[in-house]
Structure 1
Amino acid sequence: MTHKEPVTPSSIPLHPDVPLAPVLSLDSFRQITQSPMPCVLDVPHVRLVTSGRIALGLALRELGVGEGDVVLLPAYHSLSMVPPVLWLKAEPRFYRVDAGANADMEDLTTQCDARVRVLVTTHYFGFPQNLTVLRAFCDQRGIALVEDCAHAFFGAYQGKPLGSYGDYAIASSMKFFPMYEGGVLISARRSLDAIVLVSGGKGFEAKVVLATLERSFSYGRLMGLKAPLVLPLRIKDWLWQRIKVGQATSAPLAPGSSDSDASFDTAWLDKSTSLFARFLLARLSKTRITGLRRRNYQCLQQTLRGLPGCRPLFATLPDSVCPWLFPLLVDDADAVFARVRAMGVPVVRFAETLWPAMDIERCVNSRHLSRHVLAFPCHQELNEQELNWMCAQLLKAIRP
């Protein structure tokens, strides 16, 4: 589908249930043979783990972070970034960002003392930070740089893949691929041979496949497989309920898949991503993923261009960027959020809740971004009807 004109609400009669994240379908396996955009898997040393937060914990452990050390984190952050620091008995220290979510170098200079061991930088929504400046900052002070590529599985900075500038980088494959779990730890500078991963077990492998397919069914994908899997899915649900009430075992079959909570289950530190996730990483066209995400982002951008009371967080979409979501700065964000939720439009308020121990008044930009950025899906598995309907509803919500 090609959108040459902004979408209007009048021609979208149905109310599809739009997936917030990619869901597996037959179209997922469609191959596009053009050269793909660089991605974190292009970096020399790779370990496939179960989540981005697990990857961050491993990176900090490999860097020798421990009690008394300080890890610099952005004040605009996911809650999941902090527990890996606390797990190692280190101190998270938050640095400011500017109005465009770029690291505030002046504040970083002020915050950096002899106890600082690591600086973590986040490529928000897939848009890179100034890695040349950040790399030089760390090298001058003898501290490590960790790139948080949870929003940026694909993309480049000055011709090199995102993730290749840091001592380590972490990514979240489940944000970009239609899978239930998955994270990546990479390094272009250090070997990862000391990190030995094992399978999460047969229960884990089975749950990942069934949960992925069940989610596809709930959005009308792969319906031909639903009937023969009714019994296995019922068994899975029964076992999951028994585990939840503690009647079978205290160990979960799979890690939690929330992007925003503060959980950190160390039982998954030595576990590799599932065989099914590996299969999808190897089989799905990366060119299709990046091309459709960019096209859907541009459709949203064109549809919402010029509307009063809002503007894209990023003015342009550079050729080297593959977006996670479409982030929109909205003046009356609470009211618009309530309207789009009532309409059934999927929406994310990234960093809506910031770490409670952080002084939120220190960084007015982080507070503003957490309250005023509404982000909408632009992933590759949106079909034409879903994308058009979502665009139409956003027009109604923003100019009611």
Structure 2
Amino acid sequence: MTTVGQTLPLAEAPSAGYPESHVPVTPVLSLASFGRGGERIPSVLDAGAARLVTSGRVAIALALREMGIGPGDAVLVPSYHCASMIEPVVWAGARPVFYRIRPDTSVDLIDVAAKLDADCKVLMATNYYGFPQDLVALRAFCDARGIALLEDCAHCFLGQHKGKPVGSYGDYAIASSMKFFPMYEGGVLVSARHSLAGVHLQPAGKGFEAKAAINTLEDSFAYGRLFVVRALLALPLWLKDVLWGRLKGRKESAPSLAPGSSDGGFGFDPRWLDKRSSLCSRLLLRLVSRPRMGALRRRNYLKLQAALHGLPGCRPLFATLPDGVCPWIFPLLVDRPQPLFRTLKMQGVPILRFGEYPWPGVDASVCPASADLSQRVLSFPCHQELREAELDWMISQIKDALLQRSATAP
């Protein structure tokens, strides 16, 4: 197996001096997180046997290991991707083969078929932004050619396709629970077709457990949630910061207490391959209301869609929100995106740009649609922990910036 670390040849996102987001980019814990409400939406955990790990990229690596992927093998991966989807393939010693997607993010099976060779053992297919691929067609394609299907549900922990939970169609499926739940770390490996008895996980240590719980709380405090808890923990957390600052100064080479994925870092660290998710994250996975999550994510998505409908120079990437889809974020396809991106970031509006930094060599010559989407799609949070006032403020900032840009355009 190849070690893949922080030195991967990837472009790093420029900080550009942007201020902190005024509203939470990802879900943050609040008392409302445990409230009930809404109809039950199936989740990837309903698809089959599951193992709770620390990140989606770890789950990909475990899935490849379970499928026996190694040196000499090739894995078909989408040209529209983030580095964490490719790093486990390289770690396994396999060769990533990049296939095209269409402008609506659907898999171009004609291109996939053209790139199949004797080395190709797995097709990785991503349900972008929470919208499932044509999973029935992908399953039939793989079965007809004797290759495995790895269903990437990192964007769709909740949802269903043709009456079955997301994650049900792949030989293995992976998910990223920290994109949907108010937790610091978390990923899932699932299989509806194979036993996971060979996947043995162990605790990552007391330091990791403490860090996962503390960071979950501190992320919540940063956005004005759990005020009473914050007041009660003010002194212990201050002492923690002082102590940690001193320890860090003495042990700069000490291994991290948590995976880099939890802090948005690049790289795949195989030390986390056999580590289970923290107790804090596992409890939140059980206790946080999924019906509420599904209902509010859909409501917030539709509110964004209605508010931005018809504004100049943009359109939603997906025209409708089908039943059974629980979105990760709201993707907006924008003409001339970079000036708008800078304007909104300077105002503290949270923006995510999936696929902005593709794997080296993957450009418009490999897939024009991927190159276009990676630059033109600006995505905004629609998660269940957004307060009404936060969502309204964000919408107002986006609308004002789009209208101002239109008014000053030559």
TM-score of the aligned structures, taking structure 2 as reference length: 0.91
Counterpart-to-counterpart distance in 1, 2:155 and 2:171 = 18
What is the aligned counterpart of 2:34 among 17, 29, 33? Answer: 29
Name the residue aligned to 1:323. Answer: 327
The one-letter amino acid of 2:183's match is M
Aligned to 1:8: none
Matched, 1:99 2:100: no
Query: Partner letter of residue 134 of structure 2?
Result: N
Q: Is the contact between residue 184 and residue 262 of structure 2 (CA under 8 Å) also seen in structure 1? A: no
Q: Please state how far the C-alpha of 1:235 moved relative to its aligned partner.
A: 4.2
Whether contact under 8 Å (1:80, 1:261) holds in the other structure is: no
Q: CA deviation at 1:76?
A: 0.3
Q: Tell me how far apart the structure 2 counterparts of residues 260 and 398 of structure 1 sit (CA, whole Å).
A: 28
TM-superposition CA deviations, 1:3-22 (whole Å, max 9, x none): xxxxxxxxxxxx99200000
| 1:338 Cα deviation after fit | 1.0
Q: For 1:156-198, what per-residue CA distance to the aligned partner results, in whole angstroms no more than 9, with x for missing partners? A: 1100011010000000000000000000000000000101111
- Would the alpha carbon gap of residues 91 and 243 (structure 1) be closer, same or farther in structure 2, given more than 3 Å must change? farther
- For the pair 1:166 / 2:174, whether they are aligned, the reply is no
What residue number does 2:118 align with?
Answer: 114
Q: Using the alignment, how far apart are the partners of 2:280 and 2:88 within structure 1?
A: 26
2:30 aligned with 1:58: no
> Hey, what's the Cα distance between the residues in 1 that align with 2:269 and 2:231?
34
**C-alpha displacement at 1:362, in angstroms?**
1.5
Aligned residues: 385
Residue 196 (structure 1) aligned to one of 196, 200, 207:
200
Residue in structure 2 matched with residue 80 of structure 1 by the alignment: 84
Instruction: Return the alpha-carbon distance in structure 2 between the equivalents of residues 331 and 398 of structure 1.
Output: 10
Given that 2:185 and 2:262 are in contact with CA atoms closer than 8 Å, whether structure 1 keeps it comes out as no
Alpha-carbon deviations, 1:247-287, whole Å to 9, x = none?
Answer: 17622111123586431111111111111111111111100
Shift of the 193–16 alpha-carbon distance from structure 1 to 2, 3 Å rule, reads closer
Q: Distance in 2 between matches of 1:246 and 1:59?
A: 38
- CA distance change for structure 1 residues 258 and 273 in 2, over 3 Å: closer, same or farther? closer
What SS is found at the alignment partner of 1:72?
Answer: strand
1:363 alignment partner, one of 342, 355, 367? 367
Segments of structure 2 that go 5 or more residues without pairing to the other structure are 1-19, 405-410
Q: Is 1:171–1:185's contact at 8 Å kept on the other side of the alignment?
A: yes
Q: Distance in 1 between matches of 2:246 and 2:154?
A: 32
After TM superposition, which residue ranges in structure 1, 4 or more long, deviate above 6 angstroms?
Answer: none
Worse-matched range after superposition: 273-282 or 166-175? 273-282
Cα gap change, 1:275 to 1:360, in 2 (>3 Å): same
Q: What amino acid does structure 2 have at the position aligned with 1:25? A: S
The separation in 2 between residues aligned to 1:57 and 1:16, in whole angstroms, is 32
Match of 1:237 in 2: 241
Aligned to 1:293: 297
Find the partner of 2:213 among 193, 209, 213.
209
The CA deviation at 1:230 is 2.4
1:203-282 matches, cutoff 5 A: 203-238=207-242, 240-241=244-245, 244-245=248-249, 247=251, 250-258=254-262, 261-282=265-286
Deviation of 1:399 (Å): 1.1
